Structures are given as structure tokens and as C-alpha cells.
Amino acid sequence: MFICVKPFENDGAECYFATSYRKDGMLSFLNSIMLPALLAVGIPILIHLFSRQKTKKVLFSSVRFLKLLENSRIRQVRLYQILLIIIRSLFILFLVLAFARPTLKDAVFGGASAARTSVVIMLDDSYSMQSFLPGGSAMDKGKALAEKIVNASGAEDQIYLLPASQADNPIDFTKNRDEALRSLKRLQASNLKPSFTSMLQRAVKLFRSYPNYNREVYLISDFKINTNQLKIQPAKRIDSVSTLQYLVPVNGKTTLQNISIDTAFIANRLFEINQPVKVHVRLTNYGSSAIAETAVHLFAGEKRMAMQRLRINAGETAQVDLSYIPERSGWQFLKIEIDEDDLLRDNFYFLSFRLPAKVKVLFADDAGNSELNAALRVISQNSSLRIEQYGYNRLYGLALAGYDLIILNDPPQLSLQLTDRLRSFLAGGKNLFIITGERLMPTDFNRQFQNLFERNIIKDLKKADKGGFYMLRKNMGKQPLFSAVFRDEQSEPALPHFFRYYKIAFPDQQLLSFDNQDAFLAVYKAKSLTGRIFLASASLNIRWTDLPLQGFFVPMLHRILLAAAHREQQALQTLVGRSIAISFSDIQADKKYDLQDPDGE
């Protein structure tokens, strides 16, 4: 079990696992657990006291000679009893001391000893040791403590220092102490969590490799860790090799001010130039102050775009919502930064996303749907979507890979060659938007697109009774995808009427649905394909629905096309100090590539 040592500056540091520490010239015991057995020394004395018998007086005639003889004999018996008690007590005392293994050792931080000692110093160099303390960082103070332990040791002592991040590469002070001290001074706090298990395992190996009679292990840390890590199996093995163990805190009772940015993420599902981008930031107060205050800044490049102040109670987590409006396309590099505190490393968070300049959309249509065509022309002229319209007979000669999205409106019978090309388009991570119509019945549709959906998804055509209609669910305006279209949250939009639609099955996601729970706009994703298929179960002409006559039809269609054109990419999120693996395509060995960090260096 570790015991506590107060630091040299005597600044009132807290103790861990014990409340006492060694003093200069103190006699110590390698197996101090046996010391309570010293109480057994009093057993012979107790037996003697409880077994004494009081002599009975019996009156006789004149027996003076016998009386004198009795007194002489009693003195001899009492002397023998006292000697026997002393012998028995000394036997128990020396037996207990033999098991306790007493040793005269030097003081923890100074003193002299003739016995050779194996010393292992475990130095916590995790990122929390970068925090600032009066007089320098916690890491600088930890290195100073380690140096003082080394200087207080004997010239013949075997001393090893184990940094938490490099436990397999200990600094050996036995061969060249001056060079080892220079290596100690060059150590810097890492961005990793300390691995006390590997340090303790390495310490056990060192003690067994150099089995000196005296063994000491020191752990220098700010103890921003779960102390249960010091009670694991390797720590018990150190106990088994009879080692004196000390915890050396570096920060004492210093008050730490530390607010950390735990995570940040972009809330938007779609991105457009001159449209707000919302960023959610989650922060936690890990400091010891009851309440801490900081400012959260959002930077796009070198320009500050937003700022908000907040107060967080100790140990609590808070969330801040920031937003900015991108004014250019391409990669957007964002940095979230908070005010300086005692630990700077967790005051930054970096985000990035790509805002495409133009999105090329191929619209295949033979039906001559004037309402839909007119809406697409408006969208193409006033957004980042560049929509090109072709008849289905022209698709065979087009390079489909040059488009970001393909829209099939009321598709006819297509050749197997063309559906295979559409499958390759989906395999490349791009998306397809199919608007059902009158040309293909459910059986024909399922057979033609079987290699895309990999299952039958259209069941039958549902028609409303004469004078009747189907309606979308009333929560349409509250859907995240369409919240920007319906800004007035107090009133529900006028719901469009549908006179017929295809009942579809097995959607992976429903974006819009009718009030009877059937899907109107659904998303499918085949297991063997990267891209997604957006499917509208009703045609967008006035014979099927009055949706094209609604005022929100164009902005709603615009949002649907943006979502359909968006390519899903797995977000890469990591923290400093963690290893990441990134695969690249189209790398050319004869070219030079630069790796740029989030700061632009």
C-alpha cells in the first residue's frame, strides 16, 4: 500500500492513502504487518500474574528452622520464574522482529545509509501535468521532485525513472547520473492518459532484476486520476517484493482553474453558402472552484465569427450553441477556443467540413411535367444546384460519373446495361432520387430495380375515394430537414392533398409520411452499395397531388434535392494523443504531400 510524502516546499500538500510520512533516521520494517504481533511479548507476564498462588498460613509448633529454609527456597523459585519470563518474552520479541525484518534506512528526502537501495521513480507525464502552478507547470515541479530524490540517494543506489508515456524506456541513473539528469530535464508532458499498469509492471521487473535488500518506489503525480489504478494486480506484486512505496503530490492544495471543451459538433444536415451553420459545444468545469466563468469563441480561419460567455459550476457540464454564415465554398476550417486557464491543452477544438461550390444534378424526364420542370428551373437559377434535363434515351450516351445526383422522374422500362450503370453510380457513394409515376406498375418496377434495392419495395397502388384524399402528417413543419422552410412554429402549414400513391415497404428511413403511417418520401440503402436511394411514392404532378400548387413546394423540393445530393461521409473525430489511421486513394509516389495540422502549420 502506498503511503504519503509531503513535498519539499512543505506547502501543506494533501496525503493519499495514509496520514503519516517517514522522518530522518527512522528505523523501518520491511514487513511492518508483523509488528502488531509484538503484543504477544506480554503473554508470559500475564500467565505469571494470573497463575500466582497465595501461600496459606498454618500454625504449628516451633518450626523456626523450617521457616528459614522456606524463605530461602521461595527467593530462589521467584528468581527462576523472573528469568523464565524474560527468556520467554525475548524469544517472542526476536521471533516477531525476525519476521518484521527491521532495517535502518535513510530519510525519504535526505540522510545517509550504508545499505544499497533499488529506487524506481514513476513520473506522471500525462496532459494534466501541463497545468500551471505557482512557480511553473506541474511537470516542471514533478521533474524537480524527481531530481531531488535522485540527489538524495547514495552513489551506489540503483535508480530508474519511468515516465508514464514511456514506461518501457526507463531513464537509468546507475551508469551515468549526469546524463540521466539531463534526460530527465528534457522530458515534456505528453497528451496521453498515464498507464499506471505498465509502469507498475515495469517496476516489478526492475526490482526482480536488481534484488537489493532495500527497495523504494515513488509515484510523482498531480493525482487527477482514479486512485483505484494503484490498487490493481501489479501494485499488489510490488507489495509482494517488500518495497516501500510513496505518493508524492506536486500540486498540494493549489486551486486549479480548468474548463475543458469536451466535444463540439455541427448540427446542420445540409450546407449552403450564405446559410447559417450551427455549432454545438459541450464544456465541463474540472476545476476546484465552485463557479468558473469563460468565453467561448468560434473562429473561421483567423476571423472570429461568434462569442458567448457562460458560468459553470464545479463538476458540471454546459452546452453552448454558436452559429456563423459561410461566405465562400470549399473547405471550412473552424476553431472553438475558450479563455486561458491553468490547463491550456483542452481549451481548443477543431472542426472542418466541405461546402461544395456547385452540385451537378442530372434530371431524366420524358413525361413533360410542367410544374416540376418549372420548379427545378427556379432552383437551378437560384442555388448551388446545377440541374441538367435529358430524356431517358439520352442517358445511354452520358457520363453518369460526372454528376453528383441523378433524378429519375416516372422512369420507363430501362435496359439492364443502364441499371448496371446506375448501380455503379451508387457504388461510388453518390445518390439516386426516383419519383414514381404511371409508366411502371409495381411488378415491373420491382423487377427493373431489383439490382439497386436488392428487394421488392413497391406493393400496390392506393387510390382515394371520389372526392377524398390522403394527407401528410401534421408534424411536417417540425422535421429537421424542413424546419428552415416552415419558420413560423406557431402555425401548421397547409397540408397538401394526395389522390393516389404507391404503398412502399422496408424503408431504411422515412423523411415524410402520410397520416396513415405510409411513407411518401423514404430512403433506402442497399447493403452492398455506398450510395442511397431516395424514393417518392407519388408522382409530383397535379393528377396525383396538389403539392406543386403549394407556396412551399419550391423551397421544400430544394431541401429534398440538397439532402439527396449530400454524400454521406464517416466523420473522423479524435483527440490529441490518440492514434488514427487514414486511407488515401490516388496517391502518387513521385509527388510530395504535406500534412497540415488544424492550426494550419
| Residue 337 belongs to domain with CATH number | 2.60.40.10
Q: What is the pLDDT of residue 111?
A: 45
Encode 545-559 in three state secondary structure.
ECHHHCCCHHHHHHH
In a domain, 600, yes or no: no
* CATH code, 170: 3.40.50.410
Compare 60 and 312 and report the one with higher pLDDT: 312
Position 443: which residue type? T
Please count the helices (runs of H) and the strands (runs of E) in the chain: 11, 28
What is the rounded CA–CA span in Å between residue 210 and residue 592? Answer: 50
**Domains in the chain, number:** 4
Average pLDDT over residues 407-416: 94
Whether 129 and 89 map to the same domain: the answer is: no
* Residue 495 falls inside a structural domain: no
Would you state the pLDDT for residue 527?
81
Tens of pLDDT, residues 95-141: 777 776 666 554 444 444 456 888 999 998 888 888 888 878 889 99
User: Do residues 22 and 71 share a domain?
Assistant: no
The answer to whether residues 195 and 336 belong to one domain is no
Strands 431-435 and 533-536: parallel
Provide the domain limits for residue 275. Answer: 259-355
pLDDT at 151 over 80: yes
pLDDT tier, 586 (very low <50, low <70, confident <90, very high otherwise): low
Distance CA 442, CA 223 (A): 67
Same structural domain, 112 and 201: yes
User: Quick one: 456 and 372 in the same domain?
Assistant: yes
pLDDT value of residue 16: 38
User: Does residue 14 have a pLDDT over 50?
Assistant: no
Residues in contact with 188: Cβ distance below 8 Å, sequence separation at least 6, in sequence order: 125, 139
Give the pLDDT score at 507.
93
- 177: in domain: yes
Range in 233-247, 306-320, 376-390, 553-567 the model is least confident about = 233-247
| pLDDT class of 3 with cuts at 50, 70, 90 | very low
For residue 261, pLDDT beyond 80: yes
Residue 137 resides in a domain: yes
The pLDDT score that the predictor gives to residue 387 is 95
Write out the DSSP string of 287-317: SSSSEEEEEEEEEETTEEEEEEEEEEETT-E
For 8, list phi and psi in degrees, rounded to 5: -60, -35
- Give per-residue pLDDT as tens, 488-503: 555 567 889 999 999 9
Look at residue 401 and tell me if it is in a domain. yes
User: Once rounded to an integer, what is the mean pLDDT over residues 36-46?
Assistant: 75
Q: Helical H runs in 428-535? A: 442-448, 450-453
In a domain, 199, yes or no: yes
Q: Which residues contact 111 (CB under 8 A, 6 or more apart)?
A: 24, 25, 105, 152
> Which of 209, 226, 249 marks a domain boundary?
249
Question: Residue 374: what pLDDT?
Answer: 92
Residues 72 and 197 in one domain: no
Of 340, 355, 370, which one is at a domain's C-terminal end? 355
Beta bridge partners of residue 309, listed in sequence order: 295
- Return mean pLDDT, the chain: 81
Q: Is residue 19 very low, low, confident or very high in pLDDT (cuts 50, 70, 90)?
A: very low
pLDDT at 11: 40
Provide the pLDDT for residue 403: 95
Question: In terms of domains, do 435 and 520 share one?
Answer: yes
248 or 587, which is more confident: 248
In a domain, 577, yes or no: no
Distance of alpha carbon 67 from the chain centroid:
92
Render pLDDT for 506-529 as a digit per residue (tens, 0 to 9): 999 999 999 999 999 999 998 888
Residue that finishes a domain, picked among 249, 271, 306? 249
Residues 432, 452 contacting (CB under 8 angstroms): yes
Better pLDDT: 220 or 487: 220
Claim to verify: residue 412 and residue 329 sit in the same structural domain:
no
- 284-317 burial, b at 16+ Cβ within 10 Å, e below that, comes to bbbbbbeebebebbbbbeeeebbeeebebeeeee
Does residue 157 have a pLDDT over 50? yes
| pLDDT surpassing 90 at residue 69 | no
Same domain, 216 and 306: no
Proportion of the chain above pLDDT 90, given as a percent: 36
Supply the pLDDT for residue 108. Answer: 45
Q: Which three cell numbers stand for residue 47?
A: 500467565
Q: Is residue 473 part of a domain?
A: no
Residue among 448, 438, 442 at smallest CA distance from 409: 438
Res 384: pLDDT: 87
CA atoms 455, 457, 458, 462: torsion sign:
positive
- Average confidence (pLDDT) over 531-537: 95
Is residue 364 predicted with pLDDT exceeding 90?
yes
> Does residue 73 register a pLDDT over 90?
no
Instruction: Give the CATH number, domain containing residue 446.
Output: 3.40.50.880
Asked whether residue 222 falls in the same domain as residue 93, the answer is: no
| The pLDDT of residue 206 | 85
Distance CA(456)–CA(511), nearest Å, equals 20
Question: 445-473, pLDDT tens digit by residue?
Answer: 999 999 999 899 999 999 999 889 999 98
One domain for residues 368 and 515: yes
Query: For residue 365, is pLDDT > 90?
Result: yes
The residue whose grid cell reads 439492364 is 416
Write out pLDDT tens, residues 202-253.
888 888 888 777 888 898 888 776 555 555 555 555 655 567 778 888 876 6
What pLDDT is recorded for position 135?
A: 78
Summarised one tens digit per residue, pLDDT across range 417-445 is 999 999 999 998 899 999 999 999 999 99
On whether both 513 and 373 belong to a single domain, the answer is yes
